[in-house]
Structure 1
């Protein structure tokens, strides 16, 4: 299970302020995507969304809240691949808070549906403050995972990717940007209030309703295979729902049967085993004892970001995203 690092490592606000960065004035997520080569310098983006996160947060003091939030719609937390925000890439999930504070429901952006399954099994929610343009400090909810550098030798253990057909490989090869320093820290990661690597923003976070909790359909052990579907209507993958405040999204409950089928077939879609193996090295342990340590600052949550663009061009992008499901990047 993930160990909590020293308190001195936990201030996300100080990371954003201390980062020395040249002026950056992004107009859309495409400007973030154009920085790919500056973000991933040692390998591909597989399971390395923590580097997207830190690139943005190091420049947060230059960004208004709405622009910061927009930038976090531009990549997939699980695969690390660039995404374009749309109704088809926005998914609603219900996940546990790391501090034992119960379930929260919110939105994440993905490259494809298998990321829903991996999120249910490994991603949890924590908080952290960010210093924005003009010195404004806001508290956000974040999607976090355990620290794989709690056990670095695991990155060199051989495994077989289900769809490569090329024999054994290692995380050191397939997820080359998941690197550890001599002190057991994930290089380039920004940490949440309770010391976990941040891999995405958790948009529009709010306490889960009873229906959302049942639709999350995740058993106590976190296994997608043992999840029990509890949707009021039959699951329909690809169906777009709409929240009471007008946000369109795909609900995780639509993919329960597909997640179980994917597991039965050896996780043979999406990122395959790569993200799962990285996240399973040191899974986040939910502990009620963390509640006493949680920061007591005022809570400011994000709102879901609407799709960038409108009209025929945006509709074409959404249709393209709906049909795409990139596998792991090979380099």
Structure 2
């Protein structure tokens, strides 16, 4: 099966003030290999770390496996490069929206990481472009043991290797942020803090048939995101346990970024709310990682 390297970079459109993103594609791949890596060391009793070895030019993460019993609890999966969090995904999010990617076989728990691509990024991680920084996975939870990560390493041809080795680009990697909400007067309120560029949100455990409208209050301005239920159903993507609703305007070639310089409140108004349960709400944000001749520096740590 042919794999695609799909590095995205930011550029400034000369005809517009909007920051946009352009995609570059390449298919010059001539070999690949699968490697299984095990836990390197414990950060503490609740954090296990695995270092990603450099056995290829780019790497695709296939799955995470570990010993399983009823006492195992996973809180978060964190990918780090150069000591910085690149993405940080709550395990409850995976259980809610990608339950089929969690497999339990006998005494093993396996997390199929295929959903990362498209959700968190649209490219395989370019190890050759970030060759001076270590890359690690951290699994945070309780009673974790015998953790393994299966990776597919891909080798590029000479031209593509040289191009990536001297790459100076801003990689776009999405992040998942759990946000607590509050209920008042048939409205759910979610405060968006320390998130600069928003992509959209996942929401679960909500009676969507009672939706009235969705607005975002930002900088003393009310921005209407959704005026009624039919618009929500048209724009959103349905999951078994909830929905994803996009906020940023995104196409195959660019993204019009929504830049939040201050905190904002996302307000979901309902016709009726039964009970006092708050929906589970996860904001998806765009993160930018600057790559420059083998080093990486996060432009925004949100």
Same fold (TM over 0.5): no
Structure with more strand by fraction:
2
TM tier relative to shorter chain: under 0.3
Higher-Rg structure is 2
TM-score (norm 2): 0.24
